[in-house]
Amino acid sequence: VSEHGAPVLLVHGGAGHIPDDLVEAYLAGLRTAMDAGWAMLARGGSAVDAVEAAIVSLEDDGSFDAGRGSVLNQDGRVQLDAMIMDGASLAAGGVGAVETVRNPIRLARLVMETSPQVYLVAAGAERFAATHGLPRVDNATLVSPRERRRFEAARELAGVDPPAAPVHDTVGAVALDAEGNLASGTSTGGTTYKPVGRIGDSSIVGAGGYADNDSAAASLTGEGEAIMRLVLGKWAVDRVAAGDPPQAAADAAIGRLGARLGAHGGLIVLDRLGRTGVASNAFRMAWGVRSATRSDAVMSGSDVDRG
């Protein structure tokens, strides 16, 4: 068994146009999520348990673009995408365009653990949820008044201007457990006023996240179409495999996103030694870290580009 570090949980609440009046709510939401995830790790739970618990908490918090309170698509409905990956076995589960599941990260875990498939979408994913006893909800219960207002504003602009600047408040978590296993998860409502059926990077293995005990775990946020084309989650993890510390790999990934495609985003990276990396070129990125010796929730700003 190769050397590994003590348990660490690293979470994010998205990178992008996080407005001033939501900063405190984001930081509070991250702290609650870290408490939930850390409780798992502290009692010897697995990295997958910790990632799931942290993300369920963020999905249930109406501030983030995940689960309840997510952005609305062009039909005025919430459509959710999520993925989870186990770095020990490389097992992965993804779900896309799900409308009636309150916690898509739970559904992604069910896909990972109880089906031979890796990815299920839309009606098929919802049928799978029903057969596995996951509670189903009415889409309206996932719609917040704030997002309903944003939707009305975006609809007014459609056809005149491009839709309002996409918010990037996807959530994600990566964890290292006491056994030395890594896991990664990401959950999102996608981009503001997205076309029905659009799926971004967040639920795609290798794009919005990746985990491999041999190297690192990563979770991403930002312009999904660009992140997918660069397969940026796997790219960042491969940098760690090649010898980069996680912070250098995170910086290089964001450098590539900006330089190659002129796009914005952020990511968190954690390796088997417990070393962390966080980088963003967006206006703001919300993230936090918890271990036996660290406990921080941070709203980092960027002067790279405030557009």
Q: Which residues bind ligand ASP (CB under 6 A)?
A: 14, 16, 65, 168-170, 188, 190-191, 200-202, 221-222, 224
100 in catalytic set:
no
Nearest to ligand ASP of 272, 284 (CB atom): 284
The Cα–Cα gap between 70 and 242 comes to 36
The edge-to-edge listing of strands for the beta sheet with 80-86 is 119-121, 91-98, 80-86, 182-188, 171-176, 8-16, 284-291, 295-301
Query: What is the number of alpha carbons within 13 Å of residue 65 lying toward its C-beta?
Result: 28
Q: Which tokens hold the place of 58? A: 């963020």
Residue 189: CB minimum distance to ligand ASP, A:
8
The Cα–Cα gap between 191 and 286 comes to 17
Residue 221: CB minimum distance to ligand ASP, A:
4
Residue 44: CB minimum distance to ligand ASP, A:
32
Nearest to ligand ASP of 201, 271 (CB atom): 201
117 in helix, strand or coil?
coil
The Cα–Cα gap between 261 and 303 comes to 18
If you write DSSP's letter for every residue of 31-44 in order, what string do you get?
HHHHHHHHHHHHTT
280 CA to centre of own chain: 14
Q: Helices in the chain by DSSP H: which ranges? A: 23-42, 47-60, 104-114, 122-131, 145-157, 224-230, 232-241, 246-261
Nearest to ligand ASP of 44, 301 (CB atom): 301
Nearest to ligand ASP of 70, 103 (CB atom): 70
Residue 81: CB minimum distance to ligand ASP, A:
6
The Cα–Cα gap between 171 and 58 comes to 7
Catalytic position from the list 100, 170, 186, 191: 170
What residue is closest to ligand ASP based on CB? 224
The closest alpha carbon to 101, from 187, 13, 191, 162, belongs to: 187
Query: Any idea what the Cα angle at residue 167 is, between residues 162 and 170, rounded to 5°?
Result: 135
Residue 230: CB minimum distance to ligand ASP, A:
12
Residue 82: CB minimum distance to ligand ASP, A:
11
Nearest to ligand ASP of 200, 206 (CB atom): 200
Nearest to ligand ASP of 181, 202 (CB atom): 202
Catalytic residue annotation: 170
